[in-house]
Structure 1
Amino acid sequence: MQPDTAGSWTPVALSADLPAGTVMPARIPAGTIALWRSESGRPAATANRCPHRGMSLSHGFVRGESLSCIYHGWSYAQAGNCIRIPAHPGLTPPETIRTKTFAIEEVNGVIWVATDEATAKPPALEGLTPLRSMTADASIAAIEAVADTQASVEGLVSPRENADTLCLLVSAQEDGQTLIHVLLKGETSPAARIAASRVAEGLRRKAENLQKKGIAA
């Protein structure tokens, strides 16, 4: 099944994967976006295209509280407005030069981006500790099949044989892949983290094999 998270929030990354002063590509159902965190620690989600020449902003760099395009250095604030054009240092960029932005929330170690008008906050996922993210060449249906359970409305899959130790937070991608965030339940010792990671990798392999056989849609 396709999870229907509150307000159409999509879990795009774990907080640990986005240190201050960095930018990375992330995917929502509509495609790739630029996910970045300012040097003061504020996360932002921006359309992955510079209005100037169309360069991917996820290839850019963070300077202070703005995201700069790697091509000609045009810089954008978290609100999406252009604030600096290096070739014209004395120019105040017009308000018409801006990138599309998306609502973003960071809750308990997970970064969520809203794909439309969010009427509620994303799920808090209390009691769960983020471990790692991975991408599966398989649908959510295939993951549900090997986990022997269905995803909740929040997008959580609790594998039946390991329901006491981990959850998989799943998000469908536009190319048929599934982004999986592995979350721990209870113990978070190094041994528990390694064991949970191995279980998650095993489930991913099984789901991909199932997908290749055409058994799961």
Structure 2
Amino acid sequence: MLSDPTDSWVPVALSQDLPAGTVMPARIPAGSIALWRSQSGKVSASADRCPHRGMRLSHGFVRGEALSCIYHGWSYSQSGNCLRIPAHPDLTPPDTIRVVTHVVDEADGVVWVTQGEPAAKPPALEGAVPLRSLTFRAGRRAIETATGAKAAVDGLLWQAPDVPAIRLLIGLEQNGETLVHVLLSPGMSLSDRIAAARAVEDLRRAAEDIEAKGARS
């Protein structure tokens, strides 16, 4: 987890995993969010709770430039205000009906969210190419121990055997699990990408073994 929960960027997803017109759950230090991309391609982050009945908005659906709750269809804009209440089609929803939203930035194929007002843009990733995201049943310390490297805001550079350097973006840790985004050097061949994917799977097992041994000790 990033050190300052109030204004630090958290890498919550890879761009490739959030196509236009879709919504997915994600987490920041403030809690669960509904991460969604409008039909025009704009990414937004809304608190994962509909003000009406508390249903998770990440279970909802995207239509056009709005996010709708799956329960009663209340729709919200990218800025969080309620746009439509299907049961009352002629009603203009009051400004008091809204969901909390968070600042989003998308760069280098990574979606970043912060719950405060950041002093700077997300870290530059030097042209790194996203490969995939995966969940480790291990904390940040176990991941650092398994790689022999320290994580920074712009990730952790790990040199696996016979594979070009891999950048790991360490996301939020919760309940003993950590979301990790894997990025590769530009121009890697298909065989190198396959080798990198296998190496990261091996790394996950190693980190989880370290975590398990620490829990038993």
Is the shorter-chain TM-score for this pair beyond 0.5, marking a shared fold? yes
1:1-217 to structure 2, matched below 5 A, reads 3-4=2-3, 7-154=7-154, 156-161=155-160, 164-214=164-214
| Cα distance in 1, alignment partners of residues 2 and 177 from structure 2 | 14
Identity %: 58
Q: Residues 3 and 48 of structure 1: is their aligned pair in 2 closer, same or farther, counting only changes over 3 Å? A: closer
Aligned 8 A contact 2:18 2:24 in 1: yes
TM-score w.r.t. the length of structure 1 is 0.93
Deviation readout 1:54-92 (Å, 9 max, x if unpaired)? 000000000100000000000000000000000000000
Aligned 8 A contact 1:3 1:151 in 2: no
| Cα distance in 1, alignment partners of residues 129 and 195 from structure 2 | 14
Q: CA deviation at 1:216?
A: 10
Structure scoring higher RCO (CA < 8 A, sep ≥ 6) equals: 1
Deviation readout 1:77-118 (Å, 9 max, x if unpaired)? 000000000000000000000000000000010000002221
Aligned 8 A contact 2:159 2:166 in 1: no
Unmatched 5+ stretches in structure 1: none
1:103 alignment partner, SS class: strand
Q: CA deviation at 1:5?
A: 7.7
Q: Residues 216 and 33 of structure 1: is their aligned pair in 2 closer, same or farther, counting only changes over 3 Å? A: farther
Q: Residues 85 and 72 of structure 1: is their aligned pair in 2 closer, same or farther, counting only changes over 3 Å? A: same
Residue 76 of structure 2 aligns with an amino acid whose one-letter code is Y
Aligned 8 A contact 1:27 1:33 in 2: yes
TM-score w.r.t. the length of structure 2 is 0.93
Unmatched 5+ stretches in structure 2: none
| Cα distance in 2, alignment partners of residues 186 and 165 from structure 1 | 10
Aligned 8 A contact 2:166 2:182 in 1: yes
Q: CA deviation at 1:151?
A: 0.8
Q: Residues 110 and 56 of structure 1: is their aligned pair in 2 closer, same or farther, counting only changes over 3 Å? A: same
Q: CA deviation at 1:52?
A: 0.2
